[in-house]
Amino acid sequence: MDIKIREHIRSNFKDSDQKEIKESIISSIESKDEVILPGLGVFFEILWNGSDDNLKETILETIQSHL
């Protein structure tokens, strides 16, 4: 089965507002269902690719401090 997760996530959230995206992220995290991790990974990829070097450093520091 060939699932194109990136395309699926982008398509599903294309017309979503910030509130809907936030609710989806919170719901996914609270469910603790590992099946949703790839979808959150797509959101992280979007964040990472859209960040400048300073924001990337902040993201890395945040992740490292919470591990």
Domain layout of the chain by residue ranges: 5-66
Radius of gyration of the chain (CA): 13
pLDDT in tens, the chain (67 residues): 567 999 999 999 999 999 999 999 999 999 999 999 999 999 999 999 999 999 999 999 999 999 9
What is the number of alpha carbons within 13 Å of residue 23 lying toward its C-beta? Answer: 6
Q: Which residues are CB-contacts of 44 (< 8 A; sequence separation ≥ 6)?
A: none
How many Å apart are CA 7 and CA 33, to the nearest integer? 21
How many Å apart are CA 37 and CA 43, to the nearest integer? 10
